[in-house]
Structure 1
Amino acid sequence: MLVMLPCLGAAQEVSRTGAYPREEMRLVLGAGFAAILERHLESATPADLLVWSLAGMTSIDSALSVQRTGRNVRLLQGERLLLSRSLPERAEGESFATAGGAAADRLTLFQQAGWNASAAIRAAGASALIRHSFEAIFSHFDPFSRYITPEEAQAARERRTGEAGLGLRLAPGRGAGTVVVAVAAGSPAAEAGLHVGDRVLSIDGTRLRPRDAAGAAGLLEGPAGTNVLLLIERNRRRQELTLRRVLPHGSPVTAERVDDVLMIRIPAFSAQTERQVAAALLAAFSQGAPKAVVLDLRGNRGGLLSQAAAVADIFLGPGEAFRTAGRHAEASRIYVTAGGDLAQGVPLVVVVDGRTASSAEIVAAALSDRGRAAVIGTSTTGKGLVQLVVPLPDGGELLMSWSRLIMPAGWPLQDIGVLPGLCTTGGPAAAARALTALRAGSRPMGAAQAQQGAMRHPVPAVAAEALRAACPPAEVPNEDLPVARGLALDTAAAGAAMAQ
C-alpha cells in the first residue's frame, strides 16, 4: 500500500523552521531499507545500510565524516563528535520490516544530529537527505538500482496514464478523482469531448481514490480497439464519456518486404509490441509467405519483460524462453513459450548492435539459443538485471534490481550480452567477408559462441570483456542490412551462424 505523507512534500518549509521531521523520515527510510534487505539481488546487512547511508550526509557537507570501528559508528564534524551508536544487527528470525525499521531509526538519530549541527544539511532539506541516503547505498550495488524522487515518480506515473493511446494525462487533484491536465488534439479523448480541468471520478465503474493518478493509469490501459467509460465532473455537473483505445503513439513496429524478405523493425518493447509483430506477420503471410524474416533490434533499449517473452513466443514452439533468478522467492521465475510459430518456420535472422539492450537482448538470445534464428551485428549491451519498483511513503520510488536473467542455454546475460554469429564490427566489407566464410562452412564466431554458452554465473569481469572482444559493440548502419537479408536467404550460412 502506498501512503502519501504531506510533510515531506513540503521539505523546504520544514528546513526553514529548523525542525528535523524524524518520524516521517523513519517511515520512508524504513520502508526502503526493508525492501532492500529482503528483495535486492545482492545481500546487505542493516549495519551496511546505516553506514552507507551516512555517507550521503558527508556528500552534502564535507565537514562531516563517518568512522566505523568494530561494532560502533561515529559521526564527526571536524574533530567534534556529534553522535556515536552501536551498529544494528538483524536477529535470527527477525522480519525484514523490523530490521529495516531499526536501521532507519538509528540513521535518523544521526541525521538529526547532523541537521542540528550543519547549516548545509538544513539548507538541503529532508528530501535531499532521503535522496543522498539511497544514492549512497546503491553506489555499493549494481549500476541500475536507484532512488526516484517524488517529482520524477509522479511524472512517470503521469506518462503511464493514457499509454493505451487515449491522448489524455491525469494528475492528482483535491477531493475525489483525478484532474485532466492535458488532452492531445485529434485523440480519442478530444473526440469524446474531454476538456482540461475535467475531474475523472470513475473509470469503467471503478471509483478513483483521492490523488490516485497511478491507479487511474492502470484502469485506462487496455487493448487497442476496446472502449473505456469515464464518469467526469465539469462545472459541478456529471456525465459519462466513452473513449475508444487506439495503438499508442511513439515508436510502433514497422514492416516492409525487401527482396521477398520481411523486415520487421522493433524500436522498443511496449504494451502493444507483441500485437504489432503478430499483425505484421499475419498481414505479410496473407499475401504469400516471404522467403525469410529479419527482426531488426538495433538501438532497441528494451522495455517490458513480459513483451520479450510474448514476442519470442511468436516464433517458438513449447520450451523455455528465459528465466530469472534472485534472492527473493518471487524473483525466480521461468518464462516459457507455448504457441506455434507464426512465421511458419521460414528462416529467421535477428540484427543487433551495441545499443541493443534488456528485453531486446532476451529475444535475440532466446531465438538464438533455441536454434530458431541466426544473429548478425555486434555484441549487445549486456543489461541482464530485472528491476522492481518499490513505492515509498513520500511518493518517491526505489527502482531496485532483484533478479538476473538466465538464457535458455544457462548463461547469464548481465555484462556479457548477445554475441552474433556474423560479426559486422569491421563494417560492410568485413561483414561480407564473414558471410562468404559462413557460406563456405567456416564459423568465425563459433569458438566465442561456444564459450558464451558454457558460461555460468558469476562471470569474472575480465572473462566477460575478453569474450565481448571477439566482436566489440558498435553501431550497425543500414548499409549492413543487405548482408542480413543475404544471410537469411542462405540456409547453410544461417545454420553455420547459429549458436551450436
Structure 2
Amino acid sequence: MRPRTSPVPAGMAPSRPRGTARRGAPFARAARHIALILIVMLLVAPVSAHADPAAALPTVPGTQPAPDAQQASGAQQASAAQPALDSDQMNAVIGAALAFLTPRTLDSHSAREFCLWGLNGLGAIDPSLAVNAQDGRVRLSLAQDTLLVLPAPPDTDQGGWTALAVRLMQAAWARSAPMRDAGADGTLQGFFDELFNHMDPYSRYVAPSPATTDRDIRTGGTAGAGLTLGHDARSILITGVNANGPAWPVGLSSGQRLYAVNGRSTRDQTPATVSQWLLGDVGSKVTLLVGDERTRRTIVLRRASVPPETVFAYASNHTVVIRVTAFSADTAEEMSQYLDQASDDPHLRGLVLDLRGNRGGVLQQAVTTSALMLDRGVAAITHGRDPQANHIWAVQGGDMTGGAPIVILVDGRTASAAEILAAALADHRRAVVVGSTTLGKGLVQTIGQMPDGGELFVTWSRVLAPQGWPLQGLGVMPQICTSRGEADLERQLQDLAAGTVDMRDAVQAARAARFPLPVSRILDIRKACPAAIGTDSDLDAARSLIDNPAEYRAALTAIPDDVAYAPQAE
C-alpha cells in the first residue's frame, strides 16, 4: 500500500496509508455506504435584471430636479473628463440583488429598506455625502448642497428603487472625487457593506475578483494535476499528491522528481513557475517526465478540478484519529474511504473525529458525513422564510463503523457545518463530544451570482439540531469539558468511571433550549464550559473514553432521550 503524501496540517501525525480505494475508481463498500440524502441540494441560478442598453440613465417616473439642479448640471459638465459610472451595470447588479434578497432573507425587508441602507454607504466613501428620506422624497446632499431630490417609489417597487439608487449614485459620482477614486467596484462594495450591516454578521457581498477565488476554493479551482511541488539543489520535487486529483491513480508519490512538463524542462525553474505549467482547461492533457536518479518515465494525465483535501488520518493502537479541516465538495467521499479502511481492522477500538478549528463549509457535506456513521434519522433541521430553505435533513445509509465508539473533539473555533455534524451524532447518542463549547454559528447562507461576477452570500435559514435546539449563539455543549483545567478534567473522568456525568445538567439545559433564546440565557448556558482553543488534553480525554467503555457509555447518557421535533411557525 502506498502512503498518502498530501501535506498534513500542523500538529497532525503523518496520514495513515490510504489503501487501494482511489478517486475515479469504484470505492467498493465505501461507495455503497455514501448516504442517500432525502433532500436535494438547492442550486441558486444567477439572477439577472433587465437594463435597457439604449438608456444612458435609468429613469424614475415623476423625477423632479433639485432647486440647484442647474448648478449640479454645470458641475457634471465640468467633470465630463472623468470616467462615467456604468449605470447599466449598476442597475443590473442592484436589481438582481433586490430580486435575490427580497424572498430569502430571514426577516422580511422591502426594496425601500434595502436601498436606503445601501445608499447610506455613500457616506462611508465620502463623509460629506448624505441620503435622507422624508415626506415621500429622497434627498442626496453634498455637505450643505442638495444635489438631487427624487420622489420615493412604493416600498416594494424593486425596479423603481433600483433606478432611484442608481440615479443618486450617478449624481454623487459627478460631484464627489472620493466616489470616483473608489470606482464602480468600490461604490458597489460600499452599498452592499452598509446594506448588510443592518442584517446578520454572515450575509455579505463579494466582489468579482475574490468571488472567483472563493468559487475556485469551493469547487477545486483551475484544472490541474493535483501535485504539490518543491525543489532541492538539483531539480523540482513532488512534495504532495492530492488523493482527489488525477495524479493519484497513476502512482505518483512524494519524493519523485519532475523533469519536464509538456516537453519543457523544469531545470532552473521555481516550483511556482512549474505549478503554473500544470494548470489548464478541464480535460486537457498534460505530459510529465518523472523519475529518480536511475529511471525516468513519461506520464500523460488529463487535468481536472481538484477540490482541496480536507480529511487526514492516522491509526494508533487500533484507534483511528480522523481530522476534518473543512467541509468542501469531496469531504464526505474522503471520509467514506477512511471509514471503509478503518472498518477492515477486526480489532478497531474506536474513532476520534477531530473537528477543532474546523470553520465549516458545505452543509450538505456535513449531513452526508453524518450518514456514514448513522443508520438512519434526522441530521439537522433548517428553517427560514423562503419555503425552499425549510428542510428536515433526514438520512439513511448505514453505519460504516459497525457501531464502534466515536469521540468528537471540538473547541471554540468549531463552527457551522462542523457543529452540525457534532450535534447530529451527539443527539443520536452516536458519539461523545469532548472539548469546549463551540462557536455557535447556526445560520445557513445561500449564494447568488450577480451580473458583474460578484456573489451575494445571504443568510436564509436557521439550523436546529435533531432534538430541536438552536445552534446559533448556543453552540454545541460537550459531554466532557476540557476548558476548565486539568484538575477539573481529571475529576470528570473519575466520576465517569463511577457512572456520574458532571456535565449532565449543562448538556440537558442546552438540549432543552428553543428558539428564540435571549442572549442572557445563551450566556448562562455556555458558561458551564467556556469556549477555548483545543489542547492535547482533548485527545487524552478521548483516548480515556475509548480505552474505558464504561466511561464512554456513561458519557452518552448525558444526552436526553431523542424526542420528536416539529418546527413551529415563528
TM-score with structure 2 setting the length: 0.70
**Bigger mean CA offset, 27-36 vs 291-300:** 291-300
Which amino acid is 1:126 matched to? Answer: A
**Counterpart for residue 501 of structure 2:** 443
* 1:31 partner SS: helix
Deviations 1:239-290 (A, max 9, x none): xx852769755443213124x3322222222233222222222223323131
Deviations 1:56-112 (A, max 9, x none): 101111111232335433222222222233433355xxxxxxx33322111112112
Q: State the alpha-carbon separation in 1 of the partners of residues 133 and 181 from structure 2.
A: 27
Shift of residue 150, structure 1, vs aligned partner: 1.0
* 1:275 partner SS: helix
Q: State the alpha-carbon separation in 1 of the partners of residues 193 and 218 from structure 2.
A: 25
Give yes or no for the alignment of 1:156 onto 2:214: yes
Give yes or no for the alignment of 1:290 onto 2:342: no
Q: State the alpha-carbon separation in 2 of the partners of residues 15 and 123 from structure 1.
A: 15
Q: State the alpha-carbon separation in 2 of the partners of residues 191 and 243 from structure 1.
A: 18
**Counterpart for residue 66 of structure 2:** none
The counterpart of 2:409, out of the listed 342, 351, 357, is: 351
The counterpart of 2:99, out of the listed 22, 26, 34, is: 34
**Counterpart for residue 256 of structure 1:** 315
Give yes or no for the alignment of 1:363 onto 2:421: yes
**Counterpart for residue 147 of structure 1:** 205
Describe how 1:52-71 pairs up with structure 2 within 5 A: 52-71=117-136
* 1:368 partner SS: helix
Evaluate the alpha carbon distance shift between residue 475 and residue 323 of structure 1 in structure 2; reply closer, same or farther with a 3 A threshold.
Answer: same
Give yes or no for the alignment of 1:342 onto 2:400: yes
**Bigger mean CA offset, 120-129 vs 469-478:** 120-129
Q: Structure 2 stretches of 5 or more lacking a match?
A: 1-44, 54-78, 228-237, 248-257, 265-278, 287-299, 561-570
Q: State the alpha-carbon separation in 2 of the partners of residues 118 and 458 from structure 1.
A: 44
* 2:314 partner SS: strand
Q: Is the 8 A contact 1:377 1:424 kept in 2?
A: yes
Q: State the alpha-carbon separation in 2 of the partners of residues 412 and 385 from structure 1.
A: 10
Count of residue pairs brought into register by the alignment? 436
Evaluate the alpha carbon distance shift between residue 22 and residue 403 of structure 1 in structure 2; reply closer, same or farther with a 3 A threshold.
Answer: same
**Counterpart for residue 114 of structure 1:** 172
Q: Is the 8 A contact 1:15 1:125 kept in 2?
A: no
**Counterpart for residue 230 of structure 1:** 284
Q: State the alpha-carbon separation in 2 of the partners of residues 282 and 403 from structure 1.
A: 33
Q: Structure 1 stretches of 5 or more lacking a match?
A: 8-13, 92-98, 170-182, 197-215, 221-228, 233-240
Q: State the alpha-carbon separation in 2 of the partners of residues 15 and 373 from structure 1.
A: 67
* 1:30 partner SS: helix
Deviations 1:155-178 (A, max 9, x none): 233445645984379xxxxxxxxx
Evaluate the alpha carbon distance shift between residue 247 and residue 191 of structure 1 in structure 2; reply closer, same or farther with a 3 A threshold.
Answer: farther
Q: Is the 8 A contact 1:302 1:359 kept in 2?
A: yes
Q: State the alpha-carbon separation in 1 of the partners of residues 456 and 549 from structure 2.
A: 47
Q: State the alpha-carbon separation in 2 of the partners of residues 374 and 161 from structure 1.
A: 32
Evaluate the alpha carbon distance shift between residue 286 and residue 394 of structure 1 in structure 2; reply closer, same or farther with a 3 A threshold.
Answer: same
**Counterpart for residue 544 of structure 2:** 486
Q: Is the 8 A contact 1:321 1:366 kept in 2?
A: yes
**Counterpart for residue 470 of structure 1:** 528
Q: State the alpha-carbon separation in 2 of the partners of residues 157 and 349 from structure 1.
A: 33
* 1:38 partner SS: coil
* RMSD across aligned positions (CA): 3.2
Deviations 1:98-144 (A, max 9, x none): x3332211111211221222222122222211110001000011111
Q: State the alpha-carbon separation in 2 of the partners of residues 101 and 242 from structure 1.
A: 50
Deviations 1:158-206 (A, max 9, x none): 445645984379xxxxxxxxxxxxx99988489996699xxxxxxxxxx
Which amino acid is 2:483 matched to? Answer: T
Give yes or no for the alignment of 1:432 onto 2:490: yes
Evaluate the alpha carbon distance shift between residue 79 and residue 412 of structure 1 in structure 2; reply closer, same or farther with a 3 A threshold.
Answer: same
* 1:401 partner SS: strand
Q: State the alpha-carbon separation in 1 of the partners of residues 516 and 83 from structure 2.
A: 48
**Counterpart for residue 237 of structure 1:** none
* 1:343 partner SS: coil
**Counterpart for residue 175 of structure 1:** none
Evaluate the alpha carbon distance shift between residue 163 and residue 288 of structure 1 in structure 2; reply closer, same or farther with a 3 A threshold.
Answer: farther
Q: State the alpha-carbon separation in 2 of the partners of residues 392 and 242 from structure 1.
A: 35
Which amino acid is 1:51 matched to? Answer: L
Q: Is the 8 A contact 2:307 2:328 kept in 1?
A: no
Which amino acid is 2:374 matched to? Answer: L
The counterpart of 1:47, out of the listed 89, 100, 112, is: 112
TM-score with structure 1 setting the length: 0.79
Is the helix fraction higher in 1 or 2?
1
